[in-house]
Amino acid sequence: MKKHAGTENRPCRSMLYIPGDSPGMIQHSPAFGADSILLDLEDAIAPSEKDAARKMVSTFLDSFDFGSLIVTVRVNPADSEYFENDLKEIVPRTPDAVRLPKCNEISDVRAADCLIAEIENDNGIPVGTVKLHAMLETALGIENAFSIAKASPRVAALTIGGQDLTADMGVQKTLEGWELFYARSRVVMAARASGVSAFDTVWTDINDIEGLAKESKQIAELGFTGKAAIHPGQIETIHEAFRPSPKELARAQRVVREAEIALHSGKGVVSVAGRMVDAPVIARAEHLIALSRLYDYEEDGGGLA
């Protein structure tokens, strides 16, 4: 069982993909400063290595101390021969979540949900312990984003798979990323509407830190809560994009202070600078303050990929 160090409610700005058959990378994963890692059993693993990778990831989940890292395992798609074995081996070891590729419809999530619940039951694990991150990588999946997010309380995040999606759309991924603008907006809206996290796709050119910075800033502003990384050198750039601005932070601190005063003085209404603020604004302010604490040591930004 994965050794937990209280990963609930941790902001998850970055998800570092690590091939499941790469022990050298997995053993160093807590050192890179990512908020979470994605141990990959799917695209990064050749068919001949699927069993070995599954075994490797299981062994690490059994015995390795991941510290405060959020640990997610990307399993193979439901229509693959590996899917059931992946879940049977991985779920009992309770990673924080499994990432389910190619979710197109509610039924995809429901089927996985049932299987995971069964495995949880069989292993005496409270049902719902292992969360599910639904990967949307087809036009159909994007159009069904909201219903997929609402398909089960187990769904904790929607995540967009940019490469497969652009292929499905019959377009190319461009530097500007306009082809993904609608899909991203749709995923963010569905995630917000259903109260789950929204994770953006990877930036594939590890030498182009500037391009990554630009895209990360865009998706953070669009409302994504995190972004996947394919190299540790991308993590700081991604984190930088989510850093609250000093102005934002100052305002958030005022909002929270006023909210506390209002609470203690029995006032029902919170106002800042003469304007009323309501609950979602206060929640966002609290989130920004929590987020800002993560930046104490990450002051330099950028990085060499």
Partner 1 sequence: MTDFVINSIGRRVPLNVPGVGSFEPYAGAFQKAGPSRAAGAPVHPRSPQRTKSKVAESLEQAIKRSGLEDGMTISFHHHLRNGDAVIPMVLEALQAMGFRGLTFAPSSIPDAHDCVADYIMRGLIGRLYTSGVRGKLGTLVSSGEAGIPVVIRSHGGRARAIEEGQIAIDVAFLAAPACDAMGNVSGSSGPSACGSLGYAMTDAMFAKHVIAITDNLVDYPVGRNISIPQHKVDQIVAVPSLGNPKKIATGAARITRNPVDLKIAKDTFRLMKASGAIAPGFSFQMGVGGASLAVSAYLEEYMKGKGIVGSFGLGGISGHMSRMLEQGLFKSLFDVQSFDSAVTDSVRNNPNHVEIDSSWYANPFNAGCLAHSLDCVILAALDVDVNFNVNVLTGNDGALRGASGGHCDAAAGAALSIVVLPSFRGGVCSIKDSVSNVTTPGETVDAIVTERGILINPLRKDLIERAISAKLPIVDINELKDKVERLTGKPEPPDVDEGDVVAVVEYRDGTLIDSVCRVKK
Which CB atom, from 211 or from 233, has the smaller least distance to partner 1?
A: 233
By beta-carbon proximity to partner 1, the closer residue of 133 and 227 is 227
Minimum CB–partner distance for residue 158 and partner 1 (Å): 28
Which residue number, 31 or 269, has a Cβ lying nearer to partner 1? 31
* Nearest to 132, CA basis, from 164, 155, 162: 155
Question: Applying CB under 8 A, does 20 fall inside the site for partner 1?
Answer: no
With respect to partner 1, which residue has the nearer C-beta, 37 or 135?
37
297 forms part of the interface with partner 1 (CB under 8 A)? yes
Strand, coil or helix: 94: coil
Site string for partner 1, 132-161 (x = CB under 8 A): ------------------------------
Q: What is the nearest approach in angstroms of partner 1 to the Cβ of residue 304?
A: 6
Q: Does 8 bind partner 1 (CB under 8 A)?
A: no
The binding track of 27-66 with respect to partner 1, each residue x by CB under 8 A or -, is xx-xxxx------------------------------xx-
Q: Is 290 in the site for partner 1 (CB under 8 A)?
A: no
Exposed (0-12), middle (13-18) or buried (19+): which is 256, by Cβ within 10 Å? Answer: middle
232 contributes a contact to partner 1 by CB under 8 A: yes
Closer Cβ to partner 1, 64 or 146, answer by number: 64
CB neighbours (10 Å) of residue 127? 14
DSSP 9-68: T----EEEEEETT-HHHHHHGGGS--SEEEEESSTTS-GGGHHHHHHHHHHHHHH---TT
Longest Cα–Cα distance in the chain: 66
Looking from the CA of 183 toward its CB, the CA atoms found within 13 Å total: 27
4 binding partner 1? (CB under 8 A): no
Q: Which stretch binds partner 1 (CB under 8 A): 39-47, 231-239, 255-263, 281-289?
A: 231-239
Question: What span, in angstroms and rounded, lies between the C-alpha atoms of 59 and 281?
Answer: 43
* 303 part of the interface to partner 1, by CB under 8 A: yes
The closest alpha carbon to 160, from 177, 145, 179, 176, belongs to: 145
- Nearer CB in complex with partner 1: 60/199: 60
171-209 as b/e: b if 16+ CB within 10 A: eebeeebebbeebbebbbebbbebebbbbbbbbeeeeeb
Q: Is 231 in the site for partner 1 (CB under 8 A)?
A: yes
Stretch that binds partner 1, among 24-32, 156-164, 178-186, 238-246 (CB under 8 A): 24-32
Between 27 and 185, CB nearer to partner 1: 27
What is the DSSP annotation of 202-236? ----TT-HHHHHHHHHHHHHHT-SEEEESSGGGHH
For the CB of residue 235, give the shortest distance to partner 1 in the complex, in Å.
9
Which CB sits closer to partner 1, 223 or 233? 233
**Region of residue 170 (left: phi > 0; alpha: psi -120 to 50; beta: else):** left
Q: Which residues bind partner 1 (CB under 8 A)?
A: 25, 27-28, 30-33, 64-65, 231-233, 296-297, 300, 303-305
